[in-house]
Amino acid sequence: MWHELEQQLDQYQHLFASLGFELRIDGRGFAWFHDDETNPNINKQSRHLALLLMVIFDHQADNGRSLGQFYQWKIDHALLEEVYEKHQGLLDAEELDQDALVKILDNAVRKGFAAQDNNQWRLLPSVYRYLDHFESITEQASESDVAAYEDDQSC
């Protein structure tokens, strides 16, 4: 089906546009309907998923795992417990406990960001959208740090 989508992208985009959807595709293996309208409930779910992914990426990076290979990680309850302990203050500020993290991952399965097998989750290619955003934020922060350092040196 993915091959057909790539081969017939213009036709699919036209079809979905006539139905009121903007189909976007990423060559890394995922597509989505882009929507500029905001829905408070979806925004909260997306914010919680982004936060969970951010703390998982942070944990995995600290453990020497390649962020670009997130789709190979096995996320289980033990990993979620480690992530929660490390980032408890941040997660508590969003009123997210360990049970909430499991619910977020279950929602990620329904939304196409994760797959579940037994008591483990695996992130899917659509998570690249979040990783790209996290890397962009990190790059911007690094550029700000360099600019601030250069300003300090010139004084």
Helix (H) or strand (E) holding 150: helix 128-154
Which residues, in sequence order, are CB contacts of 77 under 8 Å at separation 6+?
A: 98, 102, 119
In the chain the first and final C-alpha atoms are separated, in Å, by 60
Q: How confident is the model at residue 146 (pLDDT cuts 50, 70, 90)?
A: low
Q: How confident is the model at residue 155 (pLDDT cuts 50, 70, 90)?
A: low
72-89 tens-digit pLDDT: 999 999 999 999 999 999
Q: How confident is the model at residue 36 (pLDDT cuts 50, 70, 90)?
A: low
Which overall architecture, per CATH, does domain 39-154 show?
A: Orthogonal Bundle (1.10)
- C-beta of residue 84 within 8 angstroms of C-beta of residue 59: no
Domain extent listing, the chain: 1-37, 39-154
